[in-house]
């Protein structure tokens, strides 16, 4: 029996379906083919939470260090695309500022000021597209602050990010990336070189240059920029969409702000900003019902794992009081757990709390519906909202 015949659900799964509305198909796969061969993916898709954890924990058997890894094709080797000692060497210089206490002490005041500045500018309008008028600018401002790039504005960082994300997404979908991603990365690398050369400026990048070469610092700066903006913009936008779509849950949060953390974790569970992570088998191995050959692509569906009913009862329901929502895998797991997860959570918490406090009548624009979309990165393309502006 061929691998296609052995996994008929996978054979019938399209990437377009997974980008548009993956949840019904992922539920079928998880129940019947939890490790399934998808011809359109030319690889395996893992949808059950326990099997997803097995893959992400075992970097010796399932590695990111492969020439096909899409991000590395755009920005070169980095902590995201290396394993073992090389991964540790690239990651370690960046870890200290992203520990919980350091994140709060180093970034909370800046995030609060930026959030209030953005809301003040929006408030009189009574309506806006929040992803690009609020969530995106906040994420870009914080990443720009964190990296400490010399002579760079948030607008420039956002332009680089857009081009790099587009290139990575094209490669992941099997298309050839255009030149814009390469050009954007070249500009970012030049900014990193200028920052490292400016001995008078204290920065994360300058500190990392004491342990890594400048090209290595640039590759990791691109990964931090890419992950920091993508993760947080998606977190804020998806969480707002979930809350505004569920007035009963929004009312619970408005009555008890202590439930906001639960709402954020639950939103991450239902719609992680990064839907999948890729690994490559380093040897022949067995995973669940599948015999995987050396070199084959193994894609973990974080979206599928996060709705595993064996872990999350009634998994499609948005419940801000779900007791185990923090078991979600939106930040991945194992050696490649998201370095800036604490910062992303802090940004999202402050952003949502301030929005709900200052715009208490915030609601979705019914004439312009929003839905998460994307094969690799999932969030609404736009999130149009309304509120009662001050008289």
Domains within the chain, CATH numbers bracketed: 71-277+314-386 (1.10.630.10)
Q: What is the pLDDT of residue 283?
A: 98
Q: What is the pLDDT of residue 378?
A: 93
For residue 245, count CB atoms less than 10 angstroms from its CB and return exposed for 0-12, middle for 13-18, buried for 19 or more: middle
Please state, in angstroms and rounded to a whole number, the distance separating the CA atoms of residues 219 and 205: 11
Please state, in angstroms and rounded to a whole number, the distance separating the CA atoms of residues 99 and 257: 24
Closest to 178 in 3D by CA, of 163, 190, 189 = 163
Which H or E run includes 157? helix 154-172
Q: Which residue positions in the chain have pLDDT lower than 50?
A: none
Q: Which two tokens stand for residue 30?
A: 């998880």
Q: What is the pLDDT of residue 164?
A: 85
Q: What is the pLDDT of residue 4?
A: 86
Q: What is the pLDDT of residue 200?
A: 58
**Per residue in 6-15, pLDDT tens?**
999 999 999 9
**Per residue in 257-266, pLDDT tens?**
999 999 999 9
Q: Which two tokens stand for residue 322?
A: 């779900």
Q: What is the pLDDT of residue 219?
A: 92
Q: What is the pLDDT of residue 201?
A: 61
Burial 4-23 (b: 16+ CB within 10 A, else e): eeebebbbebeeeebbeebe
Enumerate the H helices of the chain as residue ranges. 3-6, 8-11, 15-20, 23-32, 49-57, 70-75, 84-91, 100-122, 130, 136-147, 154-172, 179-197, 204-208, 214-245, 247-255, 260-270, 302-305, 341-358
DSSP letter (8 states) at residue 94: G
Q: What is the pLDDT of residue 62?
A: 98
């Amino acid at each position: 029996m061929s691998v296609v015949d052995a996994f008929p659900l996978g054979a019938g799964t399209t990437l377009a379906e997974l980008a548009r509305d993956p949840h019904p198909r992922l539920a079928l796969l998880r129940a019947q083919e939890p490790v399934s061969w998808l011809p359109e993916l030319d690889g395996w898709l893992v949808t059950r939470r326990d099997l997803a954890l097995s893959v992400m924990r075992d970097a010796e058997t399932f590695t990111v260090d492969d020439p096909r890894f899409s991000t590395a094709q755009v920005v070169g080797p980095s902590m995201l695309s290396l394993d073992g000692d090389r991964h540790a060497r690239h990651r370690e210089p960046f870890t200290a500022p992203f520990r919980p206490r350091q994140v709060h002490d180093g970034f909370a005041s800046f995030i609060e000021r930026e959030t209030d500045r953005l809301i003040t500018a929006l408030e009189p309008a009574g309506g806006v597209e929040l992803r690009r008028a609020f969530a995106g600018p906040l994420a870009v401002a914080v990443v720009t602050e964190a990296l400490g790039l010399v002579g760079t504005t948030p607008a420039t960082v956002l332009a680089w990010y857009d081009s790099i994300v587009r290139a990575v997404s094209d490669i992941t979908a099997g298309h050839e990336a255009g030149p814009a991603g390469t050009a954007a990365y070249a500009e970012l690398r030049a900014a990193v070189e200028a920052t490292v050369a400016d001995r008078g400026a204290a920065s994360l990048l300058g500190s990392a240059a004491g342990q890594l070469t400048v090209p290595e610092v640039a590759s990791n700066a691109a990964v931090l920029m890419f992950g920091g903006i993508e993760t947080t913009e998606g977190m804020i936008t998806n969480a707002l969409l979930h809350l505004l779509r569920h007035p009963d849950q929004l009312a619970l949060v408005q009555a008890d702000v202590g439930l906001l953390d639960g709402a954020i974790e639950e939103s991450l569970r239902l719609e992680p900003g990064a839907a999948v992570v890729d690994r490559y088998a380093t040897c022949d191995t067995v995973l669940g019902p599948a015999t995987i050959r050396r070199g084959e692509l193994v894609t973990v569906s974080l979206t599928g794992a996060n709705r595993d009913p064996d872990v999350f009862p009634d998994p499609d329901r948005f419940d801000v009081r779900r007791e185990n929502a923090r078991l979600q895998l939106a930040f991945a797991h194992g050696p490649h757990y998201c370095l800036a997860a604490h910062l992303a959570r802090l940004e999202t918490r402050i952003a949502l709390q301030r929005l709900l406090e200052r715009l208490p009548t915030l609601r979705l624009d019914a004439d312009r519906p929003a839905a998460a979309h994307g094969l690799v990165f999932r969030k609404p393309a736009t999130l149009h909202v309304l509120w009662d502006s001050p008289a």
